[in-house]
Amino acid sequence: MEAAEQIAVVWKQVRGPVIVPLLRASVMVCLAMCVILFVEKVYMAVVIVAMRLIGRRPERQWRWEPLRDDDPELGNAAYPMVLVQIPMYNEREVYKKSIGAACGLSWPSDRIVIQVLDDSTDPAIKELVQVECQRWANKGVNIKYEIRDNRRGYKAGALKEGMKHGYVKDCDFVVIFDADFQPEPDYLSRAMPFLIHNPEIALIQARWVFVNANECLMTRMQEMSLDYHFKVEQEVGSSAYAFFGFNGTAGVWRISALNEAGGWKDRTTVEDMDLAVRASLKGWKFVYLGDLRVKSELPSTFKAFRYQQHRWSCGPANLFRKMLMEIVKNQKVTLWKKIYVIYNFFFVRKIIGHILTSVFYCLVIPATVFVPEIEIPRWGYFYIPTIITLLNAVGTPRSFHLVIFWVLFENVMSLHRTKATFSGLLELGRVNEWVVTEKLGDVLKMKVQSKVTKKLRMRIRERYIIIIGLLMCISQLSYLNFNMESGCSFWSLVLQPISSFVEVTTFCLAKDITISFSSCNPSLSLSSVWDLLGHLSPTDNALRSWCNVVRKDSV
């Protein structure tokens, strides 16, 4: 009791002059970010609807004519020379599919070069890939197997090194497919006419579709987020500004534009976005083809997904830091386009979009439990977030019934993304960390429960001590909110630690297990989560006494 009373005295001294003003300012900043994000989402929705109503399709916006090979004088010369690059790193499960899909593209064999850039460190896998390349070469495919003696620059370094080979100088365009991407045979015949007939276009980007979207609940959540990115964000950028961020794969580049922009650079973990911004500042145009779809694979383990999200959150923030003044000083693009790149593309989507959820819902709203005189308007914590959520879910109608799970999933990931965003902005810690996303192909790696249990304590201590500490605080606040009948919603607080404990337990107990819709065993994860919640529930008498003292003082 003495400790609780001492804490209550200190709280009473700092509450009025420090806590209340600081929390009130935080609420105002978060509400402002919420409005900014809301306006951005509504704006993009309006643009998409307008484009649909006026029928503004790429084939109407740009010149497009199918390639003709019926001219006996030109023959195959009517087709430009195309280089297809496939960067790989220990891709045992998917290398055959990706190489086979690239070699199956419908294009004259003397006008295409398939270049496999193998950075594998496993000699057995390198041999398998080399044998596969030789097998296609024996069939008459012009395929090159290229390796290097180091992994400097990771993917960007491999692509840059691949452009230095002598046979590349004869190529006019380069197509990039990651190791898990499987283009349809007509990919080039549908994409290349835009580049051939419109010399101002530098990039054609195809849409991703996912072969394993139904594998587990996590892949369904990823599909919802990425579908919104492709169906809305990419579409708006292409239709209204002829600019969007290159996705690093399933795209065709004009080699002259790539070289004029400075080629591949490895200064950030988003070398694709870096190249796109630099090419755009040179005046080049981009076209996104939503109807041109390429099969790919989503990360089906939480470990792979978390590393991917760190790279996708940290890289853009770091690139924004590096290129802000370069964009501002650029004289080749319009003021309107510069505003779009700086404000909409970077600031709202890559920074505010990542920070708002974790700061507002995981920190600020729970903290207001202790300061009841600070009221958050309902439009700020309910109406606007609900509209934003519904607008995001529209991109994947078949998963609309999973929107609640998607919200909780995004809340869980928001802490990781926020940490990565600040790492990129401030160039801290793992800012240049590059971990290749694991692809499983048709293989689901399952681990025995007895082996998994041994890793629980170790991994909680190593990787999740900060997260668990924060979630303990939120769970305690939800308990206080329920008992004291605070103005905040109890369920909005209690669901966050529950979903986050599911994340922690899933990673600790089964970093390579996917939670299948059809064959999952919920008793494993739910019982573990229940045990954790039982140990972390607010049963400590001193904490209860302190909460009661603080609450009475607040009232």
Give the active site residues. Answer: 119, 272
Q: First vs last Cα of the chain: how many Å apart?
A: 21
| Tokens encoding 301 | 């383990």
For residues 276 and 245, the answer to whether their CB atoms sit within 8 Å is: yes
CA distance 427 to 221: 29
The angle that helices 271-281 and 154-162 make with each other, rounded to 10 degrees, is 60
CA distance 129 to 89: 10
For residues 437 and 427, the answer to whether their CB atoms sit within 8 Å is: no
For residues 213 and 285, the answer to whether their CB atoms sit within 8 Å is: no
Q: Residues 224-230: contacts with CB within 8 Å, 24+ apart? A: 224/392, 224/393, 224/395, 224/396, 224/399, 224/402, 224/403, 224/406, 225/392, 225/406, 225/410, 226/298, 227/395, 227/396, 228/391, 228/392, 228/394, 228/395, 228/396, 230/290, 230/395
Which helix (H) or strand (E) covers residue 286, if one does? strand 285-296
Q: In this structure, what DSSP letter does residue 263 have? A: -
For residues 240 and 61, the answer to whether their CB atoms sit within 8 Å is: no
Give, in order, the Cα–Cα distances in Å from 182 to each of 325, 385, 509, 525. 38, 36, 33, 34
Tell me the β-bridge partners of 113.
83
The string of DSSP letters for 372-421 reads TTS---HIIIIIHHHHHHHHHHTT-GGGGGGHHHHHHHHHHHHHHHHHHH
For residues 473 and 365, the answer to whether their CB atoms sit within 8 Å is: no
Tell me the β-bridge partners of 87.
117
Residue type, 68: R
